[in-house]
Structure 1
Amino acid sequence: MPKQQVDTPAAAEVPEADPTPRSPREIRLVMIGLVVAMLLAMLDNLIVGTAMPTIVGDLGGAEHLSWVVTSYTLATAASTPIWGKLGDLYGRKGTFLISIGIFLLGSALSGLSQTMTQLIAFRAIQGLGAGGLMVGVMSIMGALVLPRDRGKYQGMFAAVMALATIGGPLVGGFITDHLSWHWTFYINLPLGVVALAFIVVTLKLPKVRSTAKIDYLGAILLTVGITSLVLITTWGGQEYAWGSKQILGLTALAAASLIGFCYVEQQAEEPMLPLGLFRNRNFALVSVIGFIVGFAMFGAVTFLPLYQQTVQGASATNSGLLLMPMMFGMLVVSLVVGGIVTKTGKYRVFPIIGTAVMAGGSLLLSTLGTDTSQFTSACYMVVLGAGMGFLMQITMLVAQNSVELKDMGVASSTATLFRTIGGSFGVALFGALFNNQVTSTMAASGAQVPGGHGQLGPDALRALPAKFQDAYHHAVSNGMHTVFLWGAVISLVAVAAALFMRETPLRGAGDEPAEKSLEAAAV
């Protein structure tokens, strides 16, 4: 199949779609590579998290433990919008292959680490590559499959998310126990080679060559702003008090960087993130919804296992299985919604239903108590997962349908970034609410959490007197009530955003050019 060359000077546009027809078999082959790449991006932190105690025991440096995750998260978040823009300017296939290569290099180096400092540095390299994996997957699918037909494939990505969440801790535990922690990183290499092979052989996209200048200043300001936001949510209330000079300084730096970024983007010839995209009503609204979905999802993933292990006495060994009901609800609903969207081309009702169900699921979870059964909590988790299933892929679909193909990478990276930042804020805010509630409840009961912290591990808790355990169970239940009640309130913002969305037709075969079909969604 011959490749096509498209010159794209500074303001030129690439064609709306690759004119070469795609057979279902060809798309499925490409999807194998995309799914494996997405699995790499999502599985890594879950596998590594299980092996961290062993890694610390081998390398030492326990005081720097959090940076093994933070360096990866920072690099991923900061590089996400840059990868999206580079794909738009210089071709999605090439930038995607480079991101996979960087991720695999970081994985190999992380496995070879001899000190904690080396591991932190190599994890940052991994994170740089990971930032391009998710964006590459979504933007390539956006370029390859027309929006009207994209619903039938979204179930694959929901399945990957469920598989990663459930299987990650299990795989990490198995590797750590039967091989060595080094293989938690080396396992990425064969998977990465499979993804590279499928993408190189099966993916054919028009070549893109741009003469536009890269918006270096915008990239730097955006990177500083995102990094500051992630550090605020990572350190606030943990490493430093929320009112400390470190957190306040980071807040000022984030505000100054992002304000400067907005000014620079208005002047740039080829902006890193065209702010004009937010004039499109649907694009702006799904960005808000994506932020809140990340907020709710990461909050649930963080605190539900804690409740089930501490209050309900579930084993931590198979911690990934604790979230299976939520992932099951997400997977089933995502598959059903994808089929309906492909068949009807209608989607507006699903964000409305999804945000309302998500709020309802959060409200149900806020009723968790010391006597709630595992079956009841599992049913509540199914409701929350179902709400997310209505939203996870639809938000990306609407974001991509709201832009022209030349901005597909930026649209994909922006949707991913808002969800990532939402997750960071969700964990930080919910963590502060949870710890404050646990501490105040324990103080009211006359007991104090040993060490002055708001949380106790299951093993440490079992070593304490029964009276203290009972008080702590009530404190954790109160903390869960506060967390999910606020989650329900915040979800109502997403409901309001969904109500204001417009039913812009999804582009399909034979449709008119994007710039005409998008006019209805512009404000």
Structure 2
Amino acid sequence: MVLLAIATTCLVLFATWGGSKYEWNDPIILGLIAGTVLSAAAFVLVEHRTPEPIIPLHLFKDLNFNLSTIAGLLIGVAMFGAIGYLPTYLQMAFSVNATDSGLLMIPMMGALLVASVVSGQLVSRTGRYKWMPIAGGVLVAAALVLLSTLKPGAPLWEICAYLAVMGLGLGLSMQIMVLIVQNSFPLREVGTATASNNFFRQIGATLGSAVVGSLFAGRLADLLVERLPPAAATGGGAPGGSNSLTPAVVSTLPAPIKEAVISSYNDALTPIFIWMVPLALIAAVLMCFIKERPLATAIEHDVLSESISEGNILVTADDAAAEATVRAGGPRS
């Protein structure tokens, strides 16, 4: 657990600080990269030797697990990279308050909920699921393209529609990827496989937020310096510098400075959406190679068979039938 924590922390820190707080060739960034690689390698060695590993390495021998985990990580990067800054973007670019910016995210969550429920019902009835994460990845990519076209002053229904497309894509992909993982392992390993898959998806979500935040902050600072008058370039005319550029402060700025700040905010963020489109498309392509296995419908029978094969159940089928007869009031053998 210590090695896993060190590897994860170093990974997130160098993704967050690299290119923004520190140059990529800075000793701190190079040290974090080295720490990520060394601690991850040590973690693999420990997991290979310990009798009860946290993430059993044999999980990675399953093709469906690998594809679903990588695709989930990529979708996590795109998802959290996109939606992490949208509420603040809506406040800045469309002059809505914090509550309204949160409410404007409802179309995405509503579409995600509907897509999750409907896809679950379809899987239960048909047993077919491979096409869903493929379609979900394509929809997420389409939503990112649409979000990259946003401009200040666009109608709010347009933003809601784009977010709904994102929600549909996420609803069709995220839970189905978990289902694929769970359907690839026996009952005794379902919890471990699910937790491992979720861990890597959370890594993707954290990386998405960190990388997008780093890129966005750097681009915003450059655009503010370029577009604002020299006297206001350090903070958009706001006391305290650029860190004080909150939506409330921006709304009180003089019109020319306000427009420059809003346009900088928009142009710093929206192009990043298009950069994440390949991630969603790669996830969709990876899911094309998933082997669509029949859904497990007899868990108890599977557990019984495994236990018998391992010698954990001493009773035979005839003994079980005799016991059932006795309980029903029949003769004892």
TM-score (norm: length of structure 2): 0.82
Question: Is the 2:95–2:251 contact (alpha carbons within 8 Å) kept by the matching residues of 1?
Answer: no
Q: What is the letter of the counterpart of residue 392 of structure 1?
A: M
Question: Is the 1:289–1:494 contact (alpha carbons within 8 Å) kept by the matching residues of 2?
Answer: yes
Please state how far the C-alpha of 1:293 moved relative to its aligned partner: 2.2
Q: 1:482: which partner in 2?
A: 271
TM-superposition CA deviations, 1:157-189 (whole Å, max 9, x none):
xxxxxxxxxxxxxxxxxxxxxxxxxxxxxxxxx
Please state how far the C-alpha of 1:456 moved relative to its aligned partner: 2.1
TM-superposition CA deviations, 1:80-130 (whole Å, max 9, x none):
xxxxxxxxxxxxxxxxxxxxxxxxxxxxxxxxxxxxxxxxxxxxxxxxxxx
Is residue 133 of structure 2 the alignment partner of residue 344 of structure 1? Answer: no
Is residue 169 of structure 2 the alignment partner of residue 387 of structure 1? Answer: yes
Q: 1:336 to 1:469 in 2, by over 3 A?
A: same
Name the CA distance, whole Å, in 1 between partners of 2:288 and 2:59: 20
Name the CA distance, whole Å, in 2 between partners of 1:372 and 1:434: 21
Please state how far the C-alpha of 1:241 moved relative to its aligned partner: 5.4
SS in 2 for 1:311: helix
Is residue 282 of structure 2 the alignment partner of residue 500 of structure 1? Answer: no
Q: What fraction of aligned residue pairs are identical, expressed as a percent? A: 37
Match of residue 444, structure 1, among 218, 226, 230: 226
> Which protein is bigger by CA-based radius of gyration?
2
Unpaired runs of 5+ in structure 2? 306-333
Name the CA distance, whole Å, in 2 between partners of 1:449 and 1:317: 29
Match of residue 333, structure 1, among 115, 118, 126: 115
TM-score (norm: length of structure 1): 0.53
Q: 1:151: which partner in 2?
A: none
Question: Which aligned pairs between 1:39-438 and structure 2 lie closer than 5 A?
Answer: 219-236=1-18, 242-438=24-220
Please state how far the C-alpha of 1:390 moved relative to its aligned partner: 0.4
TM-superposition CA deviations, 1:203-258 (whole Å, max 9, x none):
xxxxxxxxxxxxxxxx3322321232234345556765554433332221111010
TM-superposition CA deviations, 1:415-434 (whole Å, max 9, x none):
21112111111011111222
SS in 2 for 1:483: helix
Question: Is the 2:130–2:290 contact (alpha carbons within 8 Å) kept by the matching residues of 1?
Answer: yes
Q: 1:449 to 1:388 in 2, by over 3 A?
A: farther
Unpaired runs of 5+ in structure 1? 1-218, 517-523
Name the CA distance, whole Å, in 2 between partners of 1:330 and 1:462: 32
Name the CA distance, whole Å, in 2 between partners of 1:423 and 1:299: 7
Question: Is the 1:434–1:482 contact (alpha carbons within 8 Å) kept by the matching residues of 2?
Answer: no
Q: 1:449 to 1:294 in 2, by over 3 A?
A: farther
SS in 2 for 1:464: coil
Is residue 246 of structure 2 the alignment partner of residue 464 of structure 1? Answer: no
Name the CA distance, whole Å, in 2 between partners of 1:396 and 1:303: 26
Q: 2:319: which partner in 1?
A: none
Please state how far the C-alpha of 1:318 moved relative to its aligned partner: 4.4
Question: Is the 1:439–1:454 contact (alpha carbons within 8 Å) kept by the matching residues of 2?
Answer: no
Q: 2:318: which partner in 1?
A: none
Question: Is the 1:350–1:391 contact (alpha carbons within 8 Å) kept by the matching residues of 2?
Answer: yes
TM-superposition CA deviations, 1:263-316 (whole Å, max 9, x none):
232333332212221121110011011112221222233111111100111111
Please state how far the C-alpha of 1:481 moved relative to its aligned partner: 2.1
Q: 1:194: which partner in 2?
A: none
Please state how far the C-alpha of 1:321 moved relative to its aligned partner: 1.5
Name the CA distance, whole Å, in 2 between partners of 1:497 and 1:369: 33
Q: What is the letter of the counterpart of residue 64 of structure 2?
A: N
Q: What is the letter of the counterpart of residue 483 of structure 1?
A: I
Higher-RCO chain (CA-CA 8 Å, sequence separation at least 6) = 2
Q: 1:306 to 1:511 in 2, by over 3 A?
A: same
Question: Is the 1:435–1:455 contact (alpha carbons within 8 Å) kept by the matching residues of 2?
Answer: no
Name the CA distance, whole Å, in 2 between partners of 1:475 and 1:402: 47
Question: Is the 1:233–1:424 contact (alpha carbons within 8 Å) kept by the matching residues of 2?
Answer: no
Q: What is the letter of the counterpart of residue 479 of structure 1?
A: A
Question: Is the 2:20–2:217 contact (alpha carbons within 8 Å) kept by the matching residues of 1?
Answer: no
SS in 1 for 2:84: helix
The alignment's C-alpha RMSD in Å is 2.4
Question: Is the 2:64–2:291 contact (alpha carbons within 8 Å) kept by the matching residues of 1?
Answer: yes
Name the CA distance, whole Å, in 2 between partners of 1:279 and 1:396: 17
Q: How many corresponding residue pairs?
A: 297
Question: Is the 2:136–2:172 contact (alpha carbons within 8 Å) kept by the matching residues of 1?
Answer: yes
SS in 2 for 1:317: helix
TM-superposition CA deviations, 1:128-147 (whole Å, max 9, x none):
xxxxxxxxxxxxxxxxxxxx
Name the CA distance, whole Å, in 1 between partners of 2:244 and 2:209: 15
Name the CA distance, whole Å, in 1 between partners of 2:244 and 2:218: 10
Please state how far the C-alpha of 1:512 moved relative to its aligned partner: 7.1
Name the CA distance, whole Å, in 2 between partners of 1:373 and 1:407: 49
Q: What is the letter of the counterpart of residue 418 of structure 1?
A: F
